[in-house]
Amino acid sequence: MSGGQSPIAIILACSDSRVPVELVFDQGFGDLFVIRVAGNVVAPSQIGSIEFAASQFGTQLVVVLGHSNCGAVTAALKELALEQTVRSPNLRAIVDRVRPSVEPILDLHRDSDEETLTAAAVRANIRASVEKLADGSRILEKLIDEGSLTIIGAEYSIETGRVEFLDA
């Protein structure tokens, strides 16, 4: 273990304590390179971490792992509906990264119940993070073009404990 790393996947996951990434994927120490941030948002530090792992370790798979009933997505939806205003600039930075992916969902699901709206917004946020990674880094773009890196989205169900991989 102390001799180095060779993770089989890079996981960009939400910080939610109900989503224990290594347990979700039945992996042990050193098997996954895990980056956790509320709302599985993509910011420069996350991109840099993924670039590092893909370049240094040759890891060929990135999974953006969102989850059902994500609090960051719910906060963004509430802010857009003017039900709540995030007061902390640090929390606002997370909500502002989620907002562009969920704004169109409000229009599409205007007449939907809250559960349907939230589920659609969670998936839209996962897909947006996948897109940002695929198009937001020359290093990652080069690896993708060479066929040595794949970035996919997945959703963990807190209710069932299952992971569903999303279509592009």
Where exactly are the structural domains of the chain? 9-165
The predicted pLDDT at position 80 comes to 78
pLDDT per 10-residue tile (average), the chain, 168 residues:
83 96 94 96 95 96 97 86 70 84 84 90 96 94 97 97 90
Q: What would the two tokens of residue 131 be?
A: 């897109």
CA triplet 62, 65, 70: central angle to 5 degrees?
A: 155
Exposed / middle / buried, residue 153 (Cβ in 10 Å: 0-12, 13-18, 19+)? buried
Q: In 3-state terms, what secondary structure has residue 110?
A: coil
Exposed / middle / buried, residue 69 (Cβ in 10 Å: 0-12, 13-18, 19+)? middle
The predicted pLDDT at position 86 comes to 60
Q: CA 165: distance to chain centroid?
A: 12
Q: What CA dihedral angle connects 79, 62, 119 and 42, to 10 degrees?
A: 10
Tell me: domain 9-165, CATH 3.40.1050.10, correct? yes
The predicted pLDDT at position 168 comes to 59
What single string gives the DSSP state of each residue in 16-31? -TT--HHHHTT--TTS
The predicted pLDDT at position 133 comes to 96
